[in-house]
A and B are shown apart, each in its own frame.
Chain A
């Protein structure tokens, strides 16, 4: 099981702030995860339709889409940040 957390409009479009899923063995990278999530339903396809803008953090650290998920226990998906 891996914990997924969503923020801002990614959270709103998916309709939940977090969930736990079982990653298929074929999914090893962040981009593989994004492709896998898009198959989970319309709300995921809507949230991730422009997946190139989606930012990802593995265990609280910014990561690239080609990063290996490795043994991360929490993966966050969110839009570009607008703090400050």
Chain B
């Protein structure tokens, strides 16, 4: 299974990405997608500014994807993370996991997101409607705790 990992400023087309994992592969029985979208935080937020560590961002997501590929029998996996200025309603991140059966695809997509949130080098800064910077979004311990459920005995 070869995973596709993209770190980019431009948006992505979810339907086109799904198509890449199903076209010509009649062994695929399940495709799970997760899309992370920018909220407006009760109307206050003008945009998020996403900073990333070029080079490491791709490599870290590839490492996570490789682990997912070892744990579940996937037929395909795509992870796309955007950077730069992202406005409410716009896409931030996409995971598409494909497998023969749904269980592996659901689990792998969830695993990818949990690890990307805590291990992929991206940082969000809030920009408010009045133009002021709201500061850097705090990391939540809940996100770190989410990794524990994937620890193998």
Q: Which residues of A contact B (CB under 8 A)?
A: 5, 7-9, 57, 60-62, 76, 78-84
Q: Which residues of B contact A (CB under 8 A)?
A: 36, 50-53, 55-56, 59-60, 81, 92-93, 113, 116-125, 136-139, 143-144
Quick check: A7 and B123 within 8 Å, CB to CB?
A: yes
A80-B139 CB under 8 A given contacts A60-B56, A60-B60: yes
Q: Which residue, of A5, A60, A78, has the highest number of chain B Cβ atoms within 10 A?
A: A60
Residue of A nearest to B139 (CB): A80
Quick check: A76 and B56 within 8 Å, CB to CB?
A: yes
Alpha-carbon distance between A62 and B113 when the two chains are bound, in angstroms: 18
Quick check: A83 and B136 within 8 Å, CB to CB?
A: no
Residue of B nearest to A11 (CB): B51
Note all chain A residues with C-beta closer than 8 A to B139: 79-82
Quick check: A8 and B123 within 8 Å, CB to CB?
A: yes
Quick check: B55 and A83 within 8 Å, CB to CB?
A: no
Residue of B nearest to A62 (CB): B119
Least CB distance, B57 to chain A, in whole angstroms: 8
Quick check: A57 and B121 within 8 Å, CB to CB?
A: yes
Alpha-carbon distance between A29 and B68 when the two chains are bound, in angstroms: 31
Alpha-carbon distance between A61 and B50 when the two chains are bound, in angstroms: 20
> Among A9, A57, A80, A82, which residue has its beta carbon within 8 angstroms of that of B53?
A57
